[in-house]
Amino acid sequence: MRKDGDFLFTSESVSEGHPDKVADRISDTVLDAYLAADPEARVACETMVTTNRIILAGEVRGPSSITSEGLIQAARDAVKDIGYDQEGFSWRKAEAANYLHAQSADIAVGVDSAGDKDEGAGDQGIMFGHASTETDTLMPATIYYAHRILHEIRDLRRAGDPRAAGLQPDAKSQVTLRYSNGRPVGATSVVISTQHDEGISQKKLREELGDIVRNVLPEGWMPPEDEFYVNPTGIFVIGGPDGDCGLTGRKIIVDTYGGAAPHGGGAFSGKDPTKVDRSAAYACRYLAKNVVAAGLADRCTLQVSYAIGVSHPLSVYVDLDGTGKDVDEARLGAVLREVMDLTPRGIRKHLRLNRPIYAQTSAYGHFGRTPDDARDDFTWERTDLVDALRGAFNR
């Protein structure tokens, strides 16, 4: 994404009822079940959902108290919570099969700590984190508003609000913003596609969704009427897994920065925090957000890399995109490794990741969420390193 000048940029989001997000939710529900029983459990769960079918597969290592029947019931409960009791996809009627099996011993020996060997990374790979002053959450504005529109629709639908009457769980949004001198100044187009009950008119949908979008976007940002698109095909009655097969991990750009920053090769959902695809991406967001919150830069992108079975990161790269406030990027990279242990064990302990906190991350983005002190969740969104970072640079 360009960071200066005048341009248009677009991000999309998908709702909790999108088929891929249903799969993500089930995979993270399985993960939470294992972590609730054993914080050291290992889980790599993949889910497929289609017309009245739910299929679990992958590798696990955990207590025998977690049964196949219990996991299938947890999956049904997740589907029920999302809101699916339709003819083609019902939490009650869907056939469910569990093909989870024991984790490979070859992976376990590389990851487990033993003797003088620290816990190693669960896989090789690269992970990124990003933060920007475009919004109060320090997220890129396009993905921020795309998420907020769908989150608002979800809240209204669940509350039985008349403004969401007849709307079903499956939905997508897309927001295009105009940037002037590198800053967002308004929306040039908004697209919403949402599943709905049969018989609802396009006019009614357009009016209801238009009010929701106006309430979410800043004043004066609503696009022209002919650039506000609602269900462009004209009808969206058959949706969810009945309309399209869903798989875990297919919405990785929706999960992170909407394309405004790089993404590593791995998805998040269904993976326990020894998998650095997830935990190190969380750590990178945490560090980037604290750099920007500390006033050291207006934008920050981090990259780290790991090798399977090796505890320390092979590299830490910092890019402030020319917005650093008299901060040397190489020095900042060294400071970040001082203020946070970036080994898999260090990340898990610092962010308290070995807990059943993941089902709520599976829709509306893993980043830019508001931490809740009472629940101790979304710890990677906290800005508790600000003082340490400012002190390191004498601010």
Specify the pLDDT at position 46.
Answer: 98
Contact 118, 311 (CB under 8 A): yes
Query: Is 202 annotated among the ligand-binding residues?
Result: no
The CATH architecture assigned to 7-14+140-240 reads 2-Layer Sandwich (3.30)
Specify the pLDDT at position 121.
Answer: 82
Query: Is 18 annotated among the ligand-binding residues?
Result: yes
Specify the pLDDT at position 112.
Answer: 60
CA 91 to chain centre: 24
Query: Is 59 annotated among the ligand-binding residues?
Result: yes
Query: Is 289 annotated among the ligand-binding residues?
Result: no
Contact 132, 260 (CB under 8 A): yes
Query: Is 307 annotated among the ligand-binding residues?
Result: no
Contact 365, 381 (CB under 8 A): no
**Two tokens, residue 381:** 């969104």
Q: Which of 62, 10, 21 is nearest to 268 (CA)?
A: 21
Please state the domain extents for the chain.
Answer: 7-14+140-240, 19-111, 125-133+276-392
Query: Is 93 annotated among the ligand-binding residues?
Result: no
User: How far apart are alpha carbons 260 and 106 in whole angstroms?
Assistant: 36
Query: Is 20 annotated among the ligand-binding residues?
Result: yes
CATH 3.40.50.410 correct for 125-133+276-392 = no
Is 125-133+276-392 the same fold as 19-111? yes
Query: Is 250 annotated among the ligand-binding residues?
Result: yes
Residue 329 sits at the vertex; the CA angle it makes with 325 and 334, to the nearest 5 degrees, is 120
From first to last of its 395 residues, the chain has per-residue pLDDT tens of 667 789 999 999 999 999 999 999 999 999 999 999 999 999 999 999 999 999 999 999 999 999 999 999 999 999 999 999 999 999 999 999 999 999 866 655 556 654 544 677 877 899 999 999 999 999 999 999 999 999 999 999 999 999 898 999 999 999 999 999 999 999 999 999 999 999 898 899 999 999 999 999 999 999 999 999 999 988 899 999 999 999 999 999 999 999 999 999 899 999 999 999 999 999 999 999 999 999 999 999 999 999 988 999 999 999 999 999 999 999 999 999 999 999 999 999 999 999 999 999 999 999 999 988 778 899 999 999 999 999 999 88
Q: Classify strands 315-319 and 299-306 as parallel, antiparallel or unpaired.
A: antiparallel
Specify the pLDDT at position 113.
Answer: 56
Residues 6+ apart with CB under 8 A from 256: 128, 130, 263, 281, 365, 366, 367
Query: Is 330 annotated among the ligand-binding residues?
Result: no
Query: Is 171 annotated among the ligand-binding residues?
Result: yes
Specify the pLDDT at position 116.
Answer: 46
User: How far apart are alpha carbons 309 and 323 in whole angstroms?
Assistant: 36
Query: Is 170 annotated among the ligand-binding residues?
Result: yes
Q: How many CA atoms lie within 13 A of 340 on its CB side?
A: 31
Query: Is 271 annotated among the ligand-binding residues?
Result: yes
Burial class (CB in 10 A: 0-12, 13-18, 19+), 310: middle
**Two tokens, residue 12:** 């999309």
Specify the pLDDT at position 240.
Answer: 96
For 19-111, give the CATH class. alpha beta
User: How far apart are alpha carbons 53 and 41 in whole angstroms?
Assistant: 27
The model's pTM is: 0.95
Across the chain, the runs of DSSP E, i.e. the strands, are 7-14, 42-50, 53-61, 95-102, 125-132, 167-180, 183-196, 228-230, 246-247, 299-306, 315-319
